[in-house]
Amino acid sequence: MIWTKSLETGVPKIDEQHKELFRQADNLVDKNNAAKVDATLTFLKGYVAKHFSDEEILHRVSAYPKAELHKKLHEEFSAALRSLLSQFQQATNKQPVILSINSAVVAWLREHIMKHDKEFAVYYLAKQQAGAKK
Protein backbone atom coordinates (compact mmCIF):
# COMPACT_ATOMS: atom_id res chain seq x y z
CA MET A 1 0.00 0.00 0.00
CA ILE A 2 1.70 3.15 -1.18
CA TRP A 3 1.07 6.62 0.19
CA THR A 4 0.71 9.24 -2.51
CA LYS A 5 0.26 13.01 -2.42
CA SER A 6 -3.27 12.50 -3.74
CA LEU A 7 -4.21 11.09 -0.32
CA GLU A 8 -3.12 14.19 1.59
CA THR A 9 -5.88 16.12 3.30
CA GLY A 10 -3.83 19.19 4.15
CA VAL A 11 -4.41 18.69 7.88
CA PRO A 12 -0.93 17.76 9.17
CA LYS A 13 -1.98 15.65 12.16
CA ILE A 14 -4.45 13.62 10.09
CA ASP A 15 -1.98 13.17 7.23
CA GLU A 16 0.77 11.93 9.56
CA GLN A 17 -1.60 9.41 11.15
CA HIS A 18 -2.81 8.26 7.73
CA LYS A 19 0.81 7.74 6.63
CA GLU A 20 1.40 5.56 9.70
CA LEU A 21 -1.73 3.54 8.90
CA PHE A 22 -0.38 2.96 5.39
CA ARG A 23 3.05 1.94 6.74
CA GLN A 24 1.42 -0.55 9.07
CA ALA A 25 -0.90 -1.89 6.37
CA ASP A 26 2.21 -2.88 4.40
CA ASN A 27 2.90 -5.43 7.14
CA LEU A 28 -0.38 -7.14 6.32
CA VAL A 29 0.95 -8.41 3.02
CA ASP A 30 3.56 -10.65 4.63
CA LYS A 31 1.52 -13.84 4.34
CA ASN A 32 4.54 -15.93 5.34
CA ASN A 33 4.81 -14.29 8.75
CA ALA A 34 1.61 -14.84 10.72
CA ALA A 35 3.14 -13.44 13.92
CA LYS A 36 3.93 -10.15 12.14
CA VAL A 37 0.40 -9.95 10.76
CA ASP A 38 -1.09 -10.68 14.18
CA ALA A 39 1.07 -8.00 15.82
CA THR A 40 0.15 -5.51 13.08
CA LEU A 41 -3.57 -6.17 13.45
CA THR A 42 -3.32 -5.71 17.21
CA PHE A 43 -1.38 -2.48 16.71
CA LEU A 44 -3.86 -1.23 14.10
CA LYS A 45 -6.81 -1.88 16.39
CA GLY A 46 -5.35 0.50 18.98
CA TYR A 47 -3.92 3.01 16.51
CA VAL A 48 -7.15 3.25 14.56
CA ALA A 49 -9.05 3.99 17.79
CA LYS A 50 -6.60 6.81 18.61
CA HIS A 51 -6.71 8.20 15.08
CA PHE A 52 -10.50 8.13 14.94
CA SER A 53 -10.70 9.82 18.34
CA ASP A 54 -8.34 12.57 17.16
CA GLU A 55 -10.38 13.11 14.00
CA GLU A 56 -13.64 13.19 15.93
CA ILE A 57 -12.24 15.85 18.27
CA LEU A 58 -11.53 17.99 15.21
CA HIS A 59 -15.09 17.33 14.02
CA ARG A 60 -16.50 18.60 17.32
CA VAL A 61 -14.32 21.68 17.67
CA SER A 62 -15.09 22.72 14.11
CA ALA A 63 -18.83 21.91 14.37
CA TYR A 64 -18.57 19.63 11.34
CA PRO A 65 -22.14 19.03 10.11
CA LYS A 66 -21.40 15.44 9.01
CA ALA A 67 -19.66 14.46 12.25
CA GLU A 68 -22.22 11.80 13.23
CA LEU A 69 -22.07 10.09 9.82
CA HIS A 70 -18.28 10.15 9.91
CA LYS A 71 -18.25 8.71 13.43
CA LYS A 72 -20.58 5.93 12.32
CA LEU A 73 -18.18 5.02 9.51
CA HIS A 74 -15.35 4.90 12.04
CA GLU A 75 -17.37 2.63 14.32
CA GLU A 76 -18.20 0.29 11.43
CA PHE A 77 -14.55 0.00 10.40
CA SER A 78 -13.44 -0.57 14.00
CA ALA A 79 -15.96 -3.40 14.31
CA ALA A 80 -14.81 -4.87 10.99
CA LEU A 81 -11.18 -4.69 12.10
CA ARG A 82 -12.00 -6.51 15.36
CA SER A 83 -13.84 -9.16 13.36
CA LEU A 84 -10.91 -9.59 10.97
CA LEU A 85 -8.52 -9.95 13.91
CA SER A 86 -10.75 -12.61 15.41
CA GLN A 87 -11.02 -14.47 12.08
CA PHE A 88 -7.25 -14.36 11.69
CA GLN A 89 -6.61 -15.64 15.20
CA GLN A 90 -9.08 -18.52 14.76
CA ALA A 91 -7.98 -19.56 11.26
CA THR A 92 -5.89 -22.67 10.83
CA ASN A 93 -4.91 -21.65 7.30
CA LYS A 94 -3.92 -18.03 7.77
CA GLN A 95 -2.86 -17.13 4.21
CA PRO A 96 -6.32 -16.64 2.67
CA VAL A 97 -7.41 -14.65 5.72
CA ILE A 98 -4.31 -12.43 5.46
CA LEU A 99 -5.10 -11.65 1.80
CA SER A 100 -8.71 -10.86 2.70
CA ILE A 101 -7.64 -8.62 5.57
CA ASN A 102 -5.13 -6.75 3.45
CA SER A 103 -7.57 -6.03 0.65
CA ALA A 104 -10.31 -4.98 3.09
CA VAL A 105 -8.07 -2.62 5.07
CA VAL A 106 -6.44 -1.07 2.01
CA ALA A 107 -9.73 -0.56 0.19
CA TRP A 108 -11.44 0.96 3.22
CA LEU A 109 -8.59 3.34 3.98
CA ARG A 110 -8.29 4.57 0.41
CA GLU A 111 -12.03 5.09 -0.01
CA HIS A 112 -12.51 6.67 3.40
CA ILE A 113 -9.60 9.07 3.01
CA MET A 114 -10.42 10.07 -0.57
CA LYS A 115 -14.10 10.67 0.12
CA HIS A 116 -14.85 11.37 3.76
CA ASP A 117 -11.59 12.64 5.22
CA LYS A 118 -10.89 14.93 2.28
CA GLU A 119 -14.43 16.31 2.48
CA PHE A 120 -13.93 17.02 6.18
CA ALA A 121 -10.51 18.57 5.53
CA VAL A 122 -11.95 21.06 3.05
CA TYR A 123 -14.52 22.10 5.65
CA TYR A 124 -12.00 22.18 8.51
CA LEU A 125 -9.37 24.17 6.62
CA ALA A 126 -11.98 26.68 5.43
CA LYS A 127 -13.10 27.15 9.04
CA GLN A 128 -9.47 27.61 10.11
CA GLN A 129 -8.91 30.22 7.40
CA ALA A 130 -12.13 32.06 8.24
CA GLY A 131 -11.12 32.14 11.92
CA ALA A 132 -7.67 33.49 11.04
CA LYS A 133 -9.20 36.37 9.08
CA LYS A 134 -11.20 37.62 12.02
pLDDT in tens, 35-94: 888 888 888 889 999 999 999 999 999 999 999 999 999 999 999 888 988 998 899 988
Read off φ and ψ for residue 42, nearest 5 degrees.
-65, -45
Burial status of residue 124 (CB atoms within 10 A of its CB: 0-12, 13-18, 19 or more): buried
Task: Show the domains of the chain with their CATH numbers.
Answer: 11-27+34-133 (1.20.120.50)
Listing DSSP states for 93-123 in one string gives SHHHHHHHHHHHHHHHHHHHIIIIIHHHHHH
CB 49 within 8 A of CB 78: yes
Residue 5 has pLDDT above 60, yes or no: yes
The pLDDT of residue 60: 96
pLDDT in tens, 7-40: 999 999 999 999 998 888 888 777 677 888 888 8
Mean residue pLDDT of the chain comes to 89
The secondary structure of residue 70, as a DSSP letter, is: H
Q: Strands, DSSP E only, in 4-133?
A: none
The secondary structure of residue 28, as a DSSP letter, is: G
pLDDT in tens, 105-131: 888 999 999 999 999 999 999 998 887
